[in-house]
Chains A and B, each alone.
Chain A
Amino acid sequence: MRLERRADTPLRLVVLAPLGAVLAALILAAGLIGAAKVDPLMAYGEMLRGALGSRLSVTEMLTRATPLILTGLAAAVAFRARLWNIGGEGQFYLGALTTAWVGHSLALPGALGIPVLMVCGMAAGALLLAGPAVLRLRFGVDEVVTTLLLNFIVILFVGLMIEGPLKDPLAFGWPQSVPVAGDFRLPDLIARTRLHIGLLIALAAAGLVWLILARTVFGVETRAAGLNPRAATFAGIALPRTIMGVALVSGALAGLAGAIEVMGVTGGVTTTMSPGFGYAGIVVAMLAALHPAGVVAAAIFVATVFVGADAMSRATGVPSFIADVIVALSLLTMLVALLFTNYRIRR
């Protein structure tokens, strides 16, 4: 048995690969659910009901999907250029912290202040990724290592700030940062739910990223730089500038996710506000095969698993950590599925 490169990848395989990967991940996770002495079908039923069963649960799921779309886009943009940004989590937190800090004392009307705060969050995320990008371009330092380790540094830094200078005095001693001013809370998309207009911003971002990647010179150069750096250089594409541009866009998207989460959901920053949005963004991007439209769909899937697992856990007693298992498994199965979109098995 051997693998043989496919001459071309038919479109139906591109679509079927993530679906197959997700199905395989669910089947594998069913083994674990079964080991917890729960009927997997029933568990998955509870999961679906918990995430999609009512108006409230759907809005909850979409609220969760909002930052995932943005961190997914951040990963997709970077990965297309073979810039391995594993630091979405750190960029998310730094974006969130910057937004809370500026948003606490900013004296601007809401309509003006919200865009300003979004830019602040984006700038924070972009700058955080600029460092590793410079290190890679100047000294060849592997950005997987630097971006990954920066996550821990940033989260510790956030902890330092919310226990210290940015501590919320009204939080009864809870480690929480000062909240953004009420004017800068994102308006609700649907009244009496947590769903806020951040979802529309994330969708607009997906559209914009698609436009940039598919239609602009920068998008084509990014792809060329990722697929074959030598040929791109030969064609006159300035590799360092392209990679730097990609880093800024990617970091900004992850930072924006943090800004929107603060303005739309939490108000202030805590060190537990992200259930791994940055890391899950990597899974989202891979499930989406790095396509912006796919990112939206994959984010909705991952949010469904996250939100549904809580409900399932309450109903069946299976620990909600199963959500992390499913998401992690679907990354692995997706990697296998990607192999089969490019290769076929020959005997």
Chain B
Amino acid sequence: MGLFLFSGLLLPGGVGAETSDNPLLFSLFKSLISTTDSKRCSHVPSCARYAKDAVTKHGPVKGLVLSCDRLIRCGGNDTERLPQVVVGGERYAWDPVSSNDFWWGSNETLKKKGTPPVLPLHFKGWD
């Protein structure tokens, strides 16, 4: 029962959701909280969007870990170190889910032809 309620909150298609694609928690946050306390997130995508992307990509448990990690970092030291983007005349830190789950195993996007090479995390031959 608890798991059912929890998945309803986090997974897409929750009851009363803004659209059938959005989880209930995301819709509630966007329509009730975000509209009243104005746009304060220092990242792009915003923490709510990031959480939604994380849950959609990795499921509720890993999505929760990623989302909480982002909430701790939001507005902190990490904001200055990330690549900056300008949206609507304001600077934001660019931090999509792919910037934080890149070490979780094989990343399909890196295998696609035409994707620029990335610097490996470890170098064999220099150890």
A and B part of one assembly: no
Give chain A's interface residues, CB within 8 Å of chain B. Answer: none
Give chain B's interface residues, CB within 8 Å of chain A. Answer: none
